Amino acid sequence: MHVAKMIDHSLLRPELTTADIHRGCDIAARRAVASVCVRPSDAGLARTALAGTGVLVGSVAGFPHGDTLTAVKAAETRALVDAGADEIDMVLHIGRLRDGDAAYVRDDIAAVVAAAQGRTVKVILENAYLADEQKVAACRLAEEAGAHFVKTSTGFAPGGATLADIQLMRASVSPHIEIKAAGGVRTLDTLLTLHEAGATRFGATATEAILDELAARERGERPTQAPAATSGGY
């Protein structure tokens, strides 16, 4: 199991400076993670910083509330593609989903999928605001709209990834649709437990702590203390 290649190193907090983004990209490159997930304005910077490293550049559309106009989400996605983004994590319209407006939610996602021009699209459900039947509906609508992943959370809501949600999401989509866990994934044990339940990608700010813990275990050392929680953006 290549744990590093399941991690999207998150660089989404609003207070991050350009220097912070450069440091985050350096961590991502040194640790050979799957991707960085950066704010839209940082996509071009990350593309340059990570050139030749094999680390993908991800960014976000309609983040973090999901309530921007569909046309704006699509335009944002096209701009991210132009800036060199490989993956798009979009937030569905949470309120319309809670309304039961399936057509709106499906079309909103489909517009981003079309604008992504074949690039990977991950649909953030923001499960903290949803009942189980709404989570199931969101998963099915994301698949119908052509998305590649369904994702638990932005990291900015009251709750993040849970084992129950990963199990429910895995049962609600076809095998080719992947699951991303985000929000509260701060330890190796959490990552491994959610992976066993079906998650294949993880949004994390505690990337180095997780991978240091993995290396320590592989050396046969005793587990270290879990890192302190960080607020916002996974």
Question: Which residues are tagged catalytic?
Answer: 89, 151, 180
- Beta-carbon contacts of residue 43 (< 8 Å; ≥ 6 apart): 57, 59, 80, 83, 84, 85
Phi, psi of 165 (to 5 degrees): -70, -40
E strand intervals along the chain: 7-11, 35-38, 56-61, 87-91, 120-124, 149-151, 178-182, 201-204
Three-state DSSP at 9 gives: strand
- What is the C-alpha separation between 162 and 204, in angstroms, rounded? 14
Contact 47, 73 (CB under 8 A): no
